[in-house]
Amino acid sequence: MRSTLALALLPLVRAINIVSSNDDGWAEANIRSIYNALTSGGHSVVLSAPAENKSGSGSRDETPSDRTEPCEFDSCPANSGPYGFNETDTRLNWVNSYPVTSIKYGIETLSPQFFDGPPDLAVSGPNVGNNLGLTVYLSGTVGAATYAASTGGIPAIAFSGESGTATAWNAETPTYSTVYSELAAKLTDRLVASGTPYLPENIWLNVNFPAVDETCASADAFSFVLSRIFTAVPLVTPDDVETCDGTRLPTESSVVDTDGCYVSVSVGTADDKGDADATSQGVVLEKLGDLLTCLP
């Protein structure tokens, strides 16, 4: 049993204001699971996501238009306007447009309403399917996070998971959805516990979870590894932060493909969706501390 002193030395996570979005739609199980996980952890969360699946829309942004059809999974009625919300929980909001438009609405309109100011952090996902390497340019989940960090000036994290298919909010919650939301909350809490600023300016985190299976069946089975989005070019790409006895981080693809239960955490620049330099990587390395491990 841990001593009282040891418990007192653990970092305390203060509750913060978080805006949440994705590209799979506001009524998809993963975004509802992370909403519940972060809210249960004491954070104040407002969800602002597309009315339907907008996967692959990248950083597209378009003024919301009136809906003529029901939202995905019949989660809103036809002819319900350009915006809407859940009648029993007004923090759950949909926008009839793209992920970037949705998180912009969350930052500019909903956050002042619920938080009396801008959010402290933006989270996007967990996406249904991983966003590794070049897919960051196509992903609407990534587009929402990078918009928040670059244009909105809000530290942001994009979460994506290998397992699953699009699942309605009112279906039985899949195991992978629960595991991914618990992992996302764990990393979020560690980042928040590190203190402000949570991330350097114009920096976002691209976090990818491997498959949930018989080996990797609970959040406790997973470990986080600092990674890079793109493969480094020999003699061209500058060194990464020094860690795990080297100055070259593994790619996120190699992390999630390693036998075991390894989550990749890449540090990116929001304006171009590329890898951040060693200095910014070092800030994240220090903030996440012993949450991070090395590949075997």
Tell me if 31 is assigned to some domain.
yes
Q: What pTM did the predictor assign?
A: 0.95
Tell me if 22 is assigned to some domain.
yes
Region 39-66: what's the mean pLDDT? 98
User: What proportion of the chain, given as a percentage, has pLDDT over 90?
Assistant: 95
Please name the amino acid found at residue 164. Answer: G
Residue 111 pLDDT greater than 60, yes or no: yes
Tell me if 43 is assigned to some domain.
yes
Tell me if 258 is assigned to some domain.
yes
How does pLDDT run across 213-272, given as a tens digit for each residue?
999 999 999 999 999 999 999 999 999 999 999 999 999 999 999 999 999 999 999 999
Please name the amino acid found at residue 277. Answer: D
What is the domain extent for residue 43?
15-291
How does pLDDT run across 265-292, given as a tens digit for each residue?
999 999 999 999 999 999 999 999 999 9
Tell me if 92 is assigned to some domain.
yes
Tell me if 59 is assigned to some domain.
yes
How does pLDDT run across 177-222, given as a tens digit for each residue?
999 999 999 999 999 999 999 999 999 999 999 999 999 999 999 9
Q: What is the CATH number of the domain that holds 276?
A: 3.40.1210.10
DSSP per residue, 6-57: HHHHSPPPPP-EEEEE-SS-TTBHHHHHHHHHHHHTT-EEEEEEESS--TT-
CA atoms lying within 13 Å on the CB side of residue 63? 0
Region 149-156: what's the mean pLDDT? 95
Tell me if 263 is assigned to some domain.
yes
Domain count, the chain: 1
| Backbone angle region of 133, left / alpha / beta, with phi > 0 → left and psi within -120 to 50 → alpha | left
Tell me if 7 is assigned to some domain.
no
CA 217 remoteness from chain centre: 20
Distance CA 127, CA 107 (A): 20
